[in-house]
Amino acid sequence: MGKQIVAVSLGLQQQADTDEQAIKLWLHGKAAHSQRAYRLDIDRFRAAVRRPLPAVTLDDLQQFADSLAGLAPASQKRILASVKSLLAFCLKIGYCQFNVGAALTVRKAKNTLAERILPHEDVARIIEREDGPRNHAMLRFLYETGCRVSELCSAKWRDIQPRDAGLAQVTVFGKGDKTRHVLISKRLYKELVRLHADAGDNAPVFPSKTGKALDQPAVFRVMQAAAQRAGIEQPVSPHWFRHAAASHALDNGCPIGLVKEQLGHASLETTSVYVHARPTDGLFKYLR
């Protein structure tokens, strides 16, 4: 009763009676792969704290944060961000009286983006060493569009439209329910046309052997095998091609606003990390 009174006083109507109901409401509408990732983070938190979400204290959160010390800083930040997001949502729907997550300070992780930006020559070698027509086109698609792996897996033939001079554009629907239109080269479009055959408009651009869209683990395996053939020892993932596309485009004079729009970033601040990760000037030039 007390919780309901607080919820009403805040102008909220309690919409969940259990943790599981609250989590289900919080996850609703998120992409399937995002739901899986969030669920793993929250399950880890609940297993450690072992008390209902409305009873969680700041001390619980701080002890949980300390328990993550053995993980990579980026993983710690992601897990805690998931927990803070859930607790904020629980207050919003009246399930919790307070958002104790608001008081938890999440330290910034070291920015390791520079380590995951491949030189253009390495990207080109990875693509060239892939002989399979579908996989070759897929790798080039990742690089030219800068799309996320989930966006590649969901691409259908209806999303590709020819343009003048042999070019084409791809309609990408991805993170944040954002739609963007990305121009691709004649070379890539020709590869895609050869793959198309008589596939219907709603068929996946990159199908598996069963005809269904490739799943994300399959794309990872293709990428890692191609990187090994190219002699790349780093643990390359599809997202590395997204980093490479943004960084190489900026290096070659692409307007930062275009990179932002083509990659679907929420703000220029997000895109600007690529500028800072690969500086073109240095203090040494000015030291005498």
Q: Among all residues, which ones are annotated catalytic? A: 148, 175, 239, 242, 265, 274
pLDDT of residue 212: 92
| 3-state secondary structure labels for all residues of 97-108 | CCCHHHHCCCCC
Return the bridge partners of 182, or none.
Answer: 170
What number of CA atoms fall less than 13 Å from residue 278's CA on the CB side?
18
> What CATH number is given for 2-103 in this structure?
1.10.150
244: which residues sit within 8 A by CB, 6+ positions away?
A: 117, 118, 120, 123, 143
Give the rounded distance of the alpha carbon of 140 from its chain centre: 19
Q: Which class is domain 114-277?
A: mainly alpha
Residue 206 tokens read as: 């990159």
Per-residue pLDDT of the chain (288 residues; tens, 9 = 90+): 444 444 444 445 678 899 999 999 999 988 787 899 999 999 999 999 999 999 999 999 999 999 998 888 888 999 999 999 999 999 999 999 999 999 998 877 777 788 889 999 999 999 999 999 999 999 999 999 999 999 999 999 999 999 999 999 999 988 878 899 999 999 999 999 999 888 899 999 999 999 899 999 999 999 999 999 999 989 999 999 999 999 999 999 999 999 999 998 988 988 988 888 877 777 777 887
Structure tokens of 78? 């992601």
Q: Could you give the residue ranges of the DSSP H alpha helices within 181-279?
A: 186-196, 216-229, 238-251, 256-263, 268-277
Task: Tell me which long-range contacts 268-272 makes (C-beta under 8 A, separation of at least 24).
Answer: 271/246
- Give the model confidence (pLDDT) of 88-147 as tens digits: 999 999 999 999 999 998 877 777 788 889 999 999 999 999 999 999 999 999 999 999
- Structural domain spans, the chain: 2-103, 114-277
Nearest residue to 57 (alpha-carbon basis) of 7, 106, 116, 98: 98
Per-residue pLDDT at 197:
80
**Whole-angstrom distance between the N-terminal and C-terminal Cα of the chain?**
73
d(CA 49, CA 45): 6
* Average pLDDT score over the chain: 89
Q: Is the pTM of this model over 0.85?
A: no
